[in-house]
Amino acid sequence: MAEEKHEHEDHEADAHDDHGHDDHGHDDHHGHIQLQYEDALPIRNGKVCLWLFLSTEIMFFAGLIGTYIVLRFGAPVGTWPTPHDVHVNPNVGALNTVILIISSFTVVLGLEFAKADKRREAKLAMLVTFIFGLLFIGIKLINEYPAKFSHGIYPSSEGLIHEQSNVYYTAAVRDTLKGWGAEQAAPVAAADSATDEAAEGAETAPPPPVESDGIMSDEARSLIEKIYYGGAKWTEYVAAEKPDGLDARDTMMSLAQIIYPLDRNSHAFAHYIEHEREVIERLRETASESPRAVELQQLLEQRDALLAVVASLPKTEHGNKGVNDYLHEDLHFHHIMPIHIPSGNMWAGTYFLLTGFHALHVLVGLIMFICILLTPCGKKEYGLIENCGLYWHFVDLVWIFLFPLLYLF
């Protein structure tokens, strides 16, 4: 027995020495560390997958927003469109921001109700969130996008937006008005044609109807003729003949301003028109000496008539209404002329790209909420509601960045 006891003590001593060696001299009172290993991260697999997905979404929107910032602040000073130039209403954008913030709060309420297994309250909170998301999309589709489409502000290969008021813009306006039948109804057409039939006093053929437009009112047709001759043709005459005192660039700017006024050009336009009236009076006195006397006299009359119409157009908070808006809103003419907006095509491309992708993500969120509303919305659905809530918070956060960039600057 004594020998067995001695061997047992020797064995404990050896174990003690080994333990001391492994711990490199640490205190002998410390016991062995017990480690427990998990098979996965201490969160649900669905939540891990969602965070991985959101990380790719963050990189996606960071690239889009970063590109917009580079284009926006890299544009020449004073050329980027103001919110008014492109019919962006900051108040509407602020309303949509408030809607999304409230929807983020209601989805959190739904999550807490589901955690407490209050199914009825959770489902009601998710329904309110769905309604707010639907309201956000509705404002986009009913108010914001149509306000731009109706003025020709959208990415298009038709060239409705011209970034410079030059000869190409003037030609585009002339061709558009000519396609509406303006050239066949005004007196200058007879002077320009110089055909045998015109010389014999043949009657002018009635103008063709505008495609996809019902009945063009007499007032609309008269205004279109004035823009054609007193605007486009007058601008081309000034560019070709270079009358003393008139500058072709200023005349082209005035044509663009008459059709679609910009705040930045309003002062220069008013100054030029005042100067042009003085030149027109001198041209009237010498019109008979011009080789194009008949045409010049009629162009001067049409120019005076157009400027009188422009001066009588309804007022807005930013000045006189443009003839494009007057034709569309007041005379119910469903076509628009080319417009001049510096950097307008770039703005339209970036605006609709950013807001379009964001609206697409909102639609995905609405589909997710529909799926949630088809469930009991209880404790068992807590993980599903949490994942949908995280996605919805990300969508709201993206809009927090888009709102000041697109609506305030």
Domains of the chain: 45-155+346-408 (1.20.120.80), 164-340 (no CATH)
**341-363 burial, b for 16+ CB within 10 Å, e for fewer?**
bbbbbbbbebbbebbeebbebbe
- What is the helix, strand, coil percentage profile of the chain, to 5? 70, 0, 30
Q: What is the C-alpha to C-alpha distance for residues 166 and 170, in angstroms, rounded to an integer? A: 6
pLDDT in tens, 208-234: 444 444 467 889 999 999 999 999 999
Neighbours of 227 (CB within 10 A): 29
For 181, left (φ over 0), alpha (ψ -120 to 50), or beta?
left
Tens digit of each residue's pLDDT, the chain (409 residues): 444 444 445 445 454 444 444 444 444 555 677 777 666 567 788 888 999 999 999 999 999 999 999 999 998 888 899 998 999 999 999 999 999 999 999 999 999 999 999 999 999 999 999 999 999 999 999 999 999 998 889 987 777 899 999 999 999 999 999 988 887 544 444 334 433 333 344 343 444 444 444 467 889 999 999 999 999 999 999 999 888 889 999 999 999 999 999 988 989 999 999 999 999 988 888 877 777 788 888 999 999 999 999 999 988 776 778 999 999 888 888 888 999 999 999 999 999 999 999 999 999 999 999 999 999 999 999 999 999 999 999 999 999 999 999 998 8
> Helix crossing, 45-74 with 344-373: angle to 10°?
160
The number of residues making up the chain comes to: 409
Closest by Cα among 24, 156, 155, 153 to 81: 153
Predicted TM-score (pTM) of the model is 0.79
